Structures are given as C-alpha cells and as structure tokens.
Structure 1
C-alpha cells in the first residue's frame, strides 16, 4: 500500500466512540483510557494542524503540529513509505533536510531516510519502542542510488549491515570514511543530542577517529543499528511537557561503557522472551493526558498541506472542520517542489542551507 492510499482510510469508528465517551466519563476507566494506544495512533493518517509540541518521553508520548518529510527530494528518499512514518516535529524534519544537503560535501549523493514517527507520534503497532515524540529518525548507512528507487523498490530493498556476519566487528569491505564523515556531520548539529549505532560501529570510530573526538560523545552504542543510525534531537522550545533525557556527560564514550557491550552480559537471551512488549499493553491511560486531545485535533486539508515546506516556512493549519472527515486521496504521490516553481514558499527546502531554527506556526483559525 502506498502512502497516498493511507490517506483515503476513514477515521477509526472506535476512535470516534472514544472521543464521545471522553466527554461523558472521566478517570482511567474511560473507553479511551482502556484502548491500546498503538491502535489509535496507528490509525491516524495525518498530523494535527496546531502549534508543534511534544508530550511525554521518547518511548511514552505523542506530538502535535507535525509535518511530513516529502517522499522524494533532491538529496533524499523516504524508504518504506507504506508505513506512513515520515512525520515529525518541524525541527526534526528541518534537520533531516539540512543534513541531506550538507552531506553532499561528505560524498553522499543523498540519504535514504527510514522511520521518523507516525503522524501524531505515539506507540507504533510494530517496530520501535521510541520514535513517539517526532524527535527521532533513522537514516540508512546505504546511500541513495544514482537512479532513485521506485515506490515498490522502497518497500522491498533491504538495508545493508556494516558488520561481518554473526559478529560484533565492522566489515571493512563495507565501511567507508564517508560513513564516518556523515556521522560526524550529524553529530555537529547542536539540536542533535544522541546518535545510536551498533556497538561495533562505535568501536570502529573509537579506534580510527583522530584529531577532534568530542563529537564521539553523541555516538551511543545500542542493540541493532548496524544497517542504519538513529538520530535523536532534544525537547524543543514550546514543549514544556516534553521529558528530556539525562545528559551524556563528558568524554568520547570509548572506555568502560563501550567495553561492556563486548562482554557476554548485553547479549544473553531474554529471561522471558514471550513477555509482551510495552506497546502491546500500553493504553491511553499510560500516556500523557494531552495525548487524548492530540487524537481529536483537526488535520490539515490534504497530504500536500501537511508536508514540510523548508526553512522557517509556516506549519500547515487546518481548514477542514471535523476530525472524522475523510481526507481526499491525491491522484499520485506528491512530487518535490523545485526551485523556481510557482507558489514556492519564502524559505525553500531546496535553497542554500539556511540556519535551522524552530519554524513559527501560523495562528490557528478561529471558530
């Protein structure tokens, strides 16, 4: 299923019932509180058209006022578009576009962007535990090819591991200095707080990076992440209810904390492998109370209106009234806006790299 087909899906009947019951009942016994959050947030096709704000923590929260990374750009492609996970806080999407442009200097024709977040964040039906606040994004270690992938290709093409088979060691036949430069570039942005990579990749960097090693502090080892790296930015201005992570401290992270990953302990089998994952039991009652309201906020009038327009361009606002209204399906996947095109916003995503800031939303329309 392509992303455009997602947009024709009607609102969940269960969500409508939840909204109605929320006005009549209170407390943790409401229907909304009892419903699995992953089902409600997974049913959303578009973000909410309000000022951007993240609620809760990276693994237990949601966000409002998100925008979408266009599926195609001059220096990026979105992979697995049918998942409808190319949405994020405007600051996150701005950073991804900036990184894709700046990475050209590091030998990258373009980036293959994996999952960012669902349109309104929240827990996902499958996959990640985090990516709930619109502040996380996955980028493949494989570069964008000269001939862009087709929509079907993006669903089938697999990412390539940077490790030797069945090992914790980087395969030098696949690893290149351009990948190290890309990680350094991403870590150089002040918005970025952490970049998760496989412990073997972190060790490779620790063993080979010379000169300035301060940026290695942001490179954090974690399970998986051998085929892609995970960029995380901090809580953004205007989000007082976003819970930040603890500070990463000082140093390059190449000492005892990295050595632990090469002991037996991190890789022991789970004591209870059949235990349910958090997303499989997380109800709306477990999320910040604002997340219930996020589900009922109005959407932009169309998929195109919800896409990020670059730089400090205003965030799309809703003109369609009811949340349960069906969003019209576009005739084809949206094409990128090219420089010189009629209607180009004042700050273009494809112009020279701007100084990234937090986009200023338009005022929400009155009643």
Structure 2
C-alpha cells in the first residue's frame, strides 16, 4: 500500500519534469490566437490572446530585430507606438526605432526579458532613426547606442540631449502609460532638464540596464479584469533620495556568492487561461 501511495505522489512530479518550460511553449508560437484581444495575468507572469502586430515600417518608426518575432502586443500598445511616432516628430525626434514588444501569444520568452508577457510593454531605442529605410540585415545587426559615458553612471552629452528628453517626456504624458523604465543616469538627466513642469517624471523609474533604450509599459486596458495591474508609482518626481540610492554603489555591488537563477516558469505558474493558448492553433 505504501509503495502504491508513493507511486501516485510521484506521478505529478514526473509529469511536471517532462513538461517543457513555458518559455519554450510560448516561444514556439509563430502566430497569435484567434479572437478578441485579452490580457491574462501580470507583466512578468501572463499571456495574451488576440494579439495585434506592429507593421515593420510606419509613419515615423521602423521595427528592429524582426527575426525575433516579438512585434506583437495588445492593440492599445500598437496604437500608442504609432501615435507616439507621429507626435514625437513635433518635438524634433526623427523617428522611433522599435525594439521588443511581446511574442504572438505573449508569455515568457526564451531569452532577454522577464516581463513583456502580456502585450503591454515595448522597448524604444534612444538612438534616433536614420533618414532612410534600414535593410533587413541592418535591423538585425545595428546596435542601440548607450547614452552613458563609458565606465560611469552619467549620460554622455554627445549622444543624450534635449531630443531624448523630449521623446521620453512625450511618452510619459500619454494617459495609458503606467511606467517608463530608464537607467538611473538617464533619470538624473531628465530630472535636471525637466524645469518646473515635473508631474510626468513620476512615471519614469530608474532600473538596471536601460541605458540604450526606454521601456514603456501601459496600464491594464479598460474592461480587462484578468489583467493584473502594477502598483502605481510612489508620489513625487522620484528625483530625491531614491535616485541618490540608484546612483550610489549599493545597487550595483556584486554579491560574493551570486544566488542561483530561479527555475523557469511552467505553464502551471501562469494563469489558467494561458494553457489553451499554447494548445490551440
């Protein structure tokens, strides 16, 4: 009897071990699911039904790294990118180079991002768009330029200036935008350039990386009860003690014994509505 009970207990564990990580299941999806757009879960643990695709070229933007097949998102995100690309030209920005959005059905990615799972995140390069159409090869090989002086946490005024400030501000003023992530050095430069109109700075949050692009995150769309919102940013412009901490050494210190990476997400870790998205055609 004990042997039988032990065998029954081991069956679910064996099945879980045999199941590939969720990033493999979602990373293998080439097209979106049919139906109306629906967001399930949170930015770092969720999926997306009925995704829309951002065209590779549009008025005021060009999409990069097309081979990754990550130019998908909720229609609100696609509309925001297209609207921002046009509006930013009023500020003198020559055009957006659009990095990763989400996969066709959202979910965890095989490489690169912990978030970007529900079609509400996009990486926009801080490198201005050239005044010509990029070739397919250039879209795969051109790199986003770091805005920092080498070896420092300060922006390099030779590559970061008022055009970059203007395009980030323009994005932050969009009502649907919940957060924008940038390197702490870029946040510092924004704080110094903002002047007296500072409310938009609240949305712009310092984070590791993000020295060559800014990460725009939309709030949960209206009527999407299965979308889990992030807590609102704290009050204020974020240019005080919090930013000072980010610019110090503590956030960048390497532990003597780095923690092992967390296990990859399994399908069971995601909302129940995500499983049908990788089981359907």
Secondary structure of 2:115's counterpart equals coil
- Following superposition, the deviation at residue 276 of structure 1 comes to 2.5
Structure-1 residue corresponding to 2:274: 291
Structure 1 residues without counterparts, runs of 5 or longer:
1-25, 298-322, 324-367
**How far apart, in 1, do the equivalents of 2:111 and 2:154 lie?**
28
1:121 lines up with 2:102 in the alignment:
no
Alpha-carbon contact 1:53-1:238 (below 8 Å) kept: no
Question: CA 1:27–1:277 in structure 2 vs 1: closer, same or farther (change >3 Å)?
Answer: closer
Alpha-carbon contact 2:56-2:63 (below 8 Å) kept: yes
Alpha-carbon contact 2:61-2:98 (below 8 Å) kept: yes
Post-superposition, which runs of at least 4 consecutive aligned residues in structure 1 deviate over 2 A? 26-35, 270-274
Alpha-carbon contact 1:50-1:64 (below 8 Å) kept: yes
1:145 counterpart (130, 140, 150) = 130
Question: CA 1:109–1:163 in structure 2 vs 1: closer, same or farther (change >3 Å)?
Answer: same
Alpha-carbon contact 1:48-1:64 (below 8 Å) kept: yes
1:53 lines up with 2:4 in the alignment:
no
**How far apart, in 1, do the equivalents of 2:257 and 2:92 lie?**
44
Number of residues of Structure 1 aligned to a counterpart in Structure 2: 271
Secondary structure of 2:126's counterpart equals strand
Structure-1 residue corresponding to 2:66: 81
Alpha-carbon contact 2:53-2:73 (below 8 Å) kept: yes
1:248 counterpart (226, 229, 233) = 233
**How far apart, in 1, do the equivalents of 2:191 and 2:206 lie?**
11
Secondary structure of 2:46's counterpart equals strand
**How far apart, in 2, do the equivalents of 1:33 and 1:245 lie?**
33
1:194 counterpart (179, 183, 195) = 179
- The two structures have a TM-score, normalised by structure 1, of 0.71
- The two structures have a TM-score, normalised by structure 2, of 0.92
User: Could you say which structure has the greater relative contact order, defined with CA pairs below 8 angstroms and 6 or more residues apart?
Assistant: 1
Structure 2 residues without counterparts, runs of 5 or longer:
1-10
Secondary structure of 2:119's counterpart equals coil
1:44 lines up with 2:29 in the alignment:
yes
Question: CA 1:146–1:153 in structure 2 vs 1: closer, same or farther (change >3 Å)?
Answer: same
Alpha-carbon contact 2:59-2:82 (below 8 Å) kept: no
**How far apart, in 2, do the equivalents of 1:199 and 1:30 lie?**
44
